[in-house]
Amino acid sequence: MASVLETDEHKALRAAVSALGNRYGRAYLAKVIAEKAHPTELWAEAAKLGYLGVNLPEEYGGGGGGIAELSIVLEELGAAGCPLLMMVVSPAICGTVIARFGTEEQKQEWLPALADGTRTMAFGITEPDAGSNSHRITTTARRATDGPAGQAEGQADWILSGRKVFISGVDIADATLVVGRTADARTGKLKPCLFIVPRDAPGFGRRQIDMELHGAEKQFELTLDDVRLPADALVGDEDAGLLQLFAGLNPERIMTAAFAIGMGRYALSKALVYARERTVWREPIGAHQAIAHPLAQAHIDLELARLMMQKAALLYDSGDDVGAGEAANMAKYAAAEACVKAVDQSVHTLGGNGLTGEFGLASLITASRVARIAPVSREMILNYVSHQTLGLPKSY
């Protein structure tokens, strides 16, 4: 029977992905991280089973579903201890933007490969001097003027220059979808343009950032030094502006919520096993309400966050970009807070073992903070809700 929140197909997808995730589990990811490798086997198998491209259109090799389905995949892999962070960018942001705004050639070139996992795409918007204020980004695209005589302006190559920071997975991604602005829109409100920049494009440099994060995906600082790109590297319209960008950013927020909920569930599951067994007085520690209640609260918070995530995914998949924007922000906020609390309480539940490598929970303390900062910080969501939803004045 179909339920309002999740259909029988959704439940079956959850169960199937959970089985896959548990076959790999935390031990697999821990080994990958220790070997400074990438979760390529899991990525390939998830792709083969149709999970990575579940949101992409069927005519381009995808599953014909939406962000609701893709978020289920990421949440369940996370709950099994082996989340695939690149799902947040490759199929969710880049796949969605190309599917919605790309040319037929771009769709043919990228969507089947993103869906079958043979190609991956990173996403770069954050800049060192812009950070939370995307309107300040200065990565700039101008048209080359040295093309063949008689070439129409729209056919001229692009020359892209700028810097990006904290961009995930650029080393493993075949290309990065870079957010820039055109030369005639250098100042004022952001009129973003999106460019596909191949990993080895001349002038496209990267430096790995030393992050104190226990994760397989690395973050990079990027330099774009007059990177020359063909005219068709531009995805969507030069003038389509924020609508196009948010078509990708709302799925990113929903997927970050899925990432956080999965991690919170994973930590909580470890704490519950421990609390049921560990006995230092007469009863297992889970019988003490000082242990049980915070775990129950963490579970409730994760469930509530999932409810908002489901609402956001439903709105997005039904084409309500505005409604989805508000819900996606709230879902990301709620999920990040729930994840931080769940991880904190789980580590605490294990006492000294919470800080051992053997139990592997302590590294989640830093990892759980990621969703509070990225892709948009907790404070910027509170600002958004204050201004957009509650109509309060702005301080900045």
Ligand X SMILES: Cc1cc2nc3c(=O)[nH]c(=O)nc-3n(C[C@H](O)[C@H](O)[C@H](O)COP(=O)(O)OP(=O)(O)OC[C@H]3O[C@@H](n4cnc5c(N)ncnc54)[C@H](O)[C@@H]3O)c2cc1C
Residues at the contact surface with ligand X, assessed by CB under 6 A = 89, 123-126, 131-132, 166-168, 213, 219, 370, 373-377, 379-380, 383, 396
Closer of 123 and 246 to ligand X (Cβ)? 123
- Shortest separation between residue 339's beta carbon and ligand X, angstroms: 14
CB of 385 to ligand X, least distance (A): 12
CA distance 168 to 61: 25
Cβ closest to ligand X, residue 297 vs residue 377 = 377
In whole angstroms, the minimum distance from the beta carbon of 191 to ligand X comes to 18
Residue 93 beta carbon to ligand X: minimum distance, rounded to whole angstroms: 9
Closest to ligand X by CB, 13 vs 376, is 376
User: Closest separation between CB of residue 255 and ligand X, Å?
Assistant: 12
Q: Which is nearer to ligand X, 56 or 125 (CB)?
A: 125
In sign, the C-alpha dihedral spanning 127, 178, 112, 32 is negative
Residue closer to ligand X (CB basis): 3 or 395? 395
Nearest residue to ligand X by CB is 131
CB 207 to ligand X: min, Å: 15
- Closer of 46 and 167 to ligand X (Cβ): 167
Whole-number Å distance between alpha carbons of 142 and 145: 9
